[in-house]
Amino acid sequence: MSGSILCFPALSPEAYRDSVSNHSMCRGNTAICPERSYAIHQQILTMSLWKTIKPYLLVTPQTLVFLLFLVFPIVMIAIVSFWQFNGYSMVREFTWDNYATIFSSNVALRTYLNTFKYVLLVWFFSLALAFPVAYFLAFYVDSLRWKVVLFLVCTVPFWTSNIIRNISWLPLLGREGLVNQILMNMGLVQEPLEFLLYSDFAVVLGLVHLYTFFMIAPIFNSLMRIDRDLITAARDMGASGFQVLREVILPLTAPGMAIGSIFVVTLVMGEFLTVRLMGGGQSASVGKLISTQIGSLQYPLAAANAVLLLVVTLVMVTGILRVVDIRKEL
Amino acid sequence: MGKRSPAFYALALFFGLFIIFLYGPMITIFILSLQGPEGTLTFPVRSFGFYWLGQVFQEQRVGNFVEPFFRSLGLGFAVAALAIAASVPAALAFRRRFNGSNLIFYLTIASLIVPSVLVSLGIGITFQVLGWQTDWFSSGLGAHLTWTVPFAFLIMVGVFNRFNLSYEEAARDLGAHELMTFQEIVLPLIAPSLIGVLILGFTLSYDEFTRTSLVSGQHNTLPLEIFGMTTNVTSPALYALGTLTTLFSFSVIILALMAYQFVSRRQNS
């Protein structure tokens, strides 16, 4: 409706009266009073103008938040990444050096590769954990009440501190931790296992522990939307349980898995907390590298790394989005 | 679906193990924080007591946790309130498509998926270039909003998707203005969700570390204080603090669920 109203040209009263009285349908029709019709027309115009502006007014506060605290800071990072560094502060002069340093450095390359390794492992294990959990909740727990309660049980740790969740692995995995004590008492190992803590293993374990929730929620959401009649239909046509899973459920859950993957990939890409707390000296990630460079006030170099991190992350996200349009999921 | 099939038991077992994986480590630090003065960072538990929980409230060598707690508390509620104020109108606008709605949608998603260290670094650098002092209630607040607003927005879009438009139309037909319709019809109907979003926003901010790490200024929020503690405290006081702040988060969630139930029940009756 608003579209057709918008097509009315905004005319002066005189021009409008002429156009109405000249119109073939109005000619000789005395029932339409041009003045009154003009007033209504104007009112409708104002209403439609309001309707056009309203959404923009409504999204203004949120958009301002993002412009001020997301877009502008990222633009600043991009600018600063081309500034020079004189050993203790930034110098506002153009240079390619920061990028040249990164691209010619073996350490940087290894750090990026190591980060990809974390991303791949954490993505795989969180998906492997999340799908059965969400599948169980969506299809095997009958009452809605229990579905919600058990889902909340999976959700609660997400609301607590990541630092504490990392720290809570220390008494389990350390040299004198519970796992080693149990293994030694059972005689399975003679020496305490060193790789359990302060290692890549610990980092991946910690990250899977932190972020599997981000997989469970969207997958559960997708599973809950599947029309149960589809499954009945597939069964009626003779599909086995496994075939139903592969041919019906998995394709319909793909968007949820994609959303979960985007979360996990981006969270792990920028991670430095877990790498610091649970990783060893060898454990490197781009996030940790950036935070170390900031620690030594090398802002331009940190900024250049941040720009690369962003580009790499966006490439990965675009890759995932190629597979699925997430707007349909909301 | 398969009534108590073997698959059910297999998946139930898997689910149970996952819950142990999720909560097990947390439970170990709960246990280790309930030790007497001779307690250490590892098992076995030497004696039972509340000694280390009490230690948290004492002035520590490494810092004081009471002030950072109140800072995080205030910041959390400010962030949550602002997130609601920004996201509810935006979600209302998204009930109809408009030119540029896609752009704004992707901006919101971008805010969620941009690695948090970038937000922190960006705001930190911006403040430094502009010569402003970073503080938890200015730069810290902004950094937290980039994480909480998108969550609040997505939840509200979901809420409005399931919202029956005919109530509003009825109000409008009866001559209510837009603001009146919102106050009298929309607001009471979304009230339970708003409580949820408020608590969600609060806990996201209360526990946020990375986004604040470079922009909190001179005064630490609680997660920053805890992080500082991890590097130089070797007593169960660390676990005790973890236990206390986790229990605080739990009680906030339980309160939120109770409030949600209370409001939605009153609505239904």
ipTM for the predicted complex comes to 0.87
Chain B residue with the nearest C-alpha to that of A177: B42
A-chain residues near B214 (CB < 8 A): 294
Give the minimum alpha-carbon distance from B135 to chain A in angstroms, rounded to a whole number: 14
Supply the pLDDT for residue A114: 93
Contact B142/A69, CB-based, under 8 Å? yes
Return the residue in B3, B27, B117 with the most chain A beta carbons within 10 A, the one to mutate for interface testing: B117
Contact B11/A330, CB-based, under 8 Å? no
Q: Which tens digit of pLDDT belongs to each residue from A276-299?
A: 888 877 788 999 999 888 888 888
The Cα B81–Cα B206 span in angstroms is 13
B-chain residues near A231 (CB < 8 A): 1
Q: Using 50, 70 and 90 to split pLDDT, how confident is the model at A121?
A: very high
Chain A residue with the nearest C-alpha to that of B150: A62
Supply the pLDDT for residue A3: 38
Residues 116-135 on A with a CB inside 8 Å of B are: 129, 132-133, 135
Q: Using 50, 70 and 90 to split pLDDT, how confident is the model at A26?
A: very low
Supply the pLDDT for residue B21: 93
Contact A59/B93, CB-based, under 8 Å? yes
A-chain residues near B196 (CB < 8 A): none
Return the residue in A144, A159, A286 with the most chain B beta carbons within 10 A, the one to mutate for interface testing: A159
Contact A273/B210, CB-based, under 8 Å? yes
- Select the residue of A71, A263, A272 nearest B117 (Cβ to Cβ): A272
CA atoms within 13 A on the CB side of B73: 9
Could you tell me which residues come within 8 angstroms of residue A266 by beta carbon, excluding any fewer than 6 positions away?
A: A313, A316, A317, B112, B113, B114, B115
3-state SS of chain B is CCCCCHHHHHHHHHHHHHHHHHHHHHHHHHHHHCECCCCCCCCCCCCECCHHHHHHHCCCCCCCCHHHHHHHHHHHHHHHHHHHHHHHHHHHHCCCCCCCHHHHHHHHHHHHHCCHHHHHHHHHHHHHHHCCCCCHHHHHHHHHHHHHHHHHHHHHHHHHHCCCHHHHHHHHHCCCCHHHHHHHHHHHHHHHHHHHHHHHHHHHHHCCCCCCCCCCCCCCCHHHHHHHHHHHCCCCHHHHHHHHHHHHHHHHHHHHHHHHHHHHHHHHC
- Select the residue of B203, B213, B227 nearest A159 (Cβ to Cβ): B203
Q: Which tens digit of pLDDT belongs to each residue from A65-115?
A: 999 999 999 999 999 999 988 877 777 888 888 898 889 888 889 999 999
Q: Which tens digit of pLDDT belongs to each residue from A123-164?
A: 999 999 999 999 999 988 888 888 888 998 888 888 888 888
pLDDT tens for chain B, 269 residues: list them: 445 788 889 999 999 999 999 999 999 888 888 887 777 777 777 777 777 777 777 766 556 778 888 999 999 999 999 999 999 999 989 888 888 888 999 899 889 889 988 999 999 999 988 988 888 888 999 999 999 999 999 889 988 887 777 888 888 888 887 788 888 888 888 888 888 889 889 988 998 998 888 888 888 888 888 888 887 777 788 888 888 888 888 888 888 888 888 877 877 76
A192 has a chain B CB within 8 A of its CB: no
